Chains A and B, each alone.
Chain A
Amino acid sequence: MGTPTQITDAPPPAPQPSLDKRAARGATRPGDRIFLGLSRGSGILLLVVMAAIAVFLTYRASLAISKDQGNFLTTFQWDTNLVPPNFGIAVLAFGTVVSSIVAMVIAVPVAVAIALFLTHYAPRRIRGPIAYVIDLLAAVPSIVYGLWGALVLVPNMTGLFGWLNDYFGWTGVFSWEGGAPRSMLTVGILLAIMILPIITNVSREVFRQVPQMHEEAALALGATRWEVIRMAVLPFGRSGVISASMLGLGRALGETMAVATVLSPTFDIQASLLDPGGGTFAQNIASKFGEATEFGRDALIASGLVLFVITLLVNGAARAIIARRKEYSGANA
């Protein structure tokens, strides 16, 4: 980054902006001025909306947090109706992170494998239709995933839960007391299914851009197909896969309805992934909103602000990785 800024500061390119300015100023015709004004105005409006989101959420959140009796970050309760209200996001942060991690652990390897399947393994004739079906699956509304998760996936999880409890119950993470399988693990599995299409799509695009020469060179040296993938495809696509995963993570963190339908929430932290309980930011907002007073809504807005900041960071990191990759990738040369 250092050198390019120095160059733009140097005198030679100085005519460049002035030329542009002249071109823009050449827009003396009223039609041009109106059109430029309109299009620039809507661009600025977008920025204003973005700023307004941050400002208003912060303002309403500050109203709630200033009256909070407990510590907003570490309190294990959500009692907004008490006379000195006592609430905190510790449980929600834990649940959000745990469900997203479970989703990522399941979804990323499977999505990468499907992307490889589509670019390197599948018979050529069925690649197009499968990619098309995956595109369509990305369009299935999350509430439908939620309904399916609650009515089809949950009843089918008891077998897996019993098996996990039998063989891995001693770890504590997979112990199960036999409640309905509306737990963090089920949520994670459902989220994994939901973010599978987006991770697959982005990874597939990246794998497709791997220079043909790299693969052919590896094949010419006698590499097997797996060795080609490991030595040519995966190193090239690594940053793309990482950013695809983070886009998926952003989705999983903010998912509301699928979690709200599947999870039976409690406001505590527990080690077991199998016992029902816990909660996430978005799920808590959706399920507590109905009976919340105005102050309760402000408290929910405060938790939404935290979610907003987290997703901004995750998405920003993903975009930064993609942008860096564009600059240095050999594929665009």
Chain B
Amino acid sequence: MSTATITPKGPGTLRGARLPKWSPYAIAAGSIALAVGIGLAGGLHSRVQWGLIAAILYVVGTYAIATAVEGKRQAKDRIATSLVWVAFLLAVIPLASLVWSTVARGLKVLDVYFLTHSMGVVADTEPGGGIYHAILGTLEQVGLATVIAAPIGVLTAIYLVEYGRGRLSQAITFFVDVMTGIPSIVAGLFILSLMLMFDMQPFGFAGSLALAILMMPVVVRSTEEMLKLVPNELREASLALGVPKWRTILKVVLPTSIGGITTGIMLSIARITGETAPVLLLVWGNAFINANPFEGAQASLPLYIYQQYANSAGSGAAYDRAWAASLTLIAFVMLLNLVARGIARWKAPKTGR
């Protein structure tokens, strides 16, 4: 503030010349007009080429004009700004296209009939049929995986945060990190190697085991973060009252962080729901309804999408079903995400801030 009084001269003498605020828009409009002119004159048909020419003209034009008026450094700054914006817009295009095509094509056959019937008597190339068997299979496999992975993951995180000292906890931390990066197909191959040993046929629970391997490290990581957020004062207060440590953990630590833990588990469920590769190896897929995850091949939603795509020999009906199943899967995953985030916000531990 006080420096302003020391330099009573007008600010204009200290500042370089600046381009007016509307200049980027003007340059953009000019380069688009020029690109259209070049495109028409040169007889270029592809609109993509027109866009590229316009983009190049814009970058060159901005650099030249800004260098002339503001100097080289400002010109570089403007180039960087426009490149960052271009990168952002570039990334939006495929993602918007993905969402748009899934919704637009998926809604064609997605109805109550589709959700409540199986592919039992429908050939892959014919219209009709549905995904009831696949939804059932996915829910059972993911449910069993959660029943296995969630308790183990939460208990491991409790060990790491509340008890863990020394080598064992270091080793666990390291290998949890390593496990997070296991490709899903490798987890599938591991269970497959077990099944080959015992000469077993594909069944739903085998898929659950592979999904549980993928889910455990994610649960450990997120639960660990949440437990670390619980203030130590709460633990100390409880212990000072003579409460045993295990009751302190069950009655004080876990209730305080339960919102975050639930969120973490739901996000990891969302992650494994979309896993296709292990299910492809271990559960095999089935056109009929099989409600027993412990015997016989089962269907699964992501696998259904793949098989409709792969077995259809270009039939439009199968592609429609694949899109509709994709939409169902995305809707389910997004719903889990939104609910999880809602819980996180609702039950967020009150930190000092």
Q: CB within 8 Å of B: which residues of A?
A: 17, 20, 24, 27, 29, 31-32, 34-36, 38-47, 49-50, 52-53, 56-57, 59-60, 109-110, 113-114, 116-117, 121-122, 135-137, 139-148, 150-153, 159-160, 163, 193, 196, 224-227, 229, 247, 250, 253-257, 260-261, 282, 285-286, 289, 294, 297-298, 300-301, 304, 307-308, 311-312, 314-316, 318-319
Contact = CB atoms under 8 A, between A and B. Distances in A.
A144 B305 contact: yes
Given A27-B245, A148-B101, A46 B183 contact: no
Interface of B: 46, 48-49, 73-74, 76-77, 79-81, 83-85, 87-88, 90-91, 94-95, 97-98, 101-102, 151-153, 155-156, 158-160, 162-166, 168-169, 171-172, 174-187, 189-190, 192-194, 196-197, 213, 216-217, 220, 244-247, 249-250, 267, 270-271, 273-277, 280-281, 302, 305-306, 309-310, 319, 322-323, 326, 329-330, 333-334, 337
Contacts of A150: 309
A56 B166 CA distance: 28
B244 A43 contact: no
A160 B94 CA distance: 15
The B interface, classified by DSSP as helix, strand, loop or mixed, is helix
B172 A43 contact: yes
Contacts of A135: 337
Contact of A143 (B164, B174, B250, B306): B306
Given A17-B165, A32-B245, A256-B184, A225 B196 contact: no
Contacts of B245: 27, 32, 35
A91 B276 CA distance: 24
List 10 tightest A-B contacts by C-beta distance, closest first.
A141-B274, A254-B183, A315-B181, A113-B87, A35-B246, A39-B159, A224-B77, A226-B80, A42-B155, A256-B277
10 contacts: A53-B186, A110-B90, A122-B88, A141-B330, A143-B276, A193-B91, A254-B185, A256-B183, A256-B184, A256-B276
B280 A286 contact: yes
B156 A57 contact: no
A305 B185 CA distance: 10
Nearest to B100: A152
Contacts of B151: 42
A102 to B, nearest CB: 15
Contact of A308 (B98, B164, B182, B217): B182
A266 B287 CA distance: 29
Contacts of B158: 39
A24 to B, nearest CB: 7
A148 B98 contact: yes
B190 A56 contact: yes
Query: Which of A36, A148, A151, A294 gathers the greatest number of chain B CB atoms within 10 Å?
Result: A148
B73 A227 contact: yes
A46 B159 CA distance: 12
Contact of B77 (A226, A253, A301, A318): A226
A226 B76 contact: yes
A56 B194 contact: yes
A224 B73 contact: yes
Nearest to B189: A304
Given A60-B193, A109-B87, A257-B277, 5 more contacts: A46-B216, A53-B182, A53-B190, A53-B213, A285-B189
B98 A144 contact: yes
Contacts of A139: 267, 270-271, 274, 333-334, 337
Contacts of B276: 141-143, 256-257
A286 B306 CA distance: 11
Contacts of B175: 46-47, 50
Contact of B178 (A29, A229, A247, A316): A316
A79 B48 CA distance: 44
B4 to A, nearest CB: 15
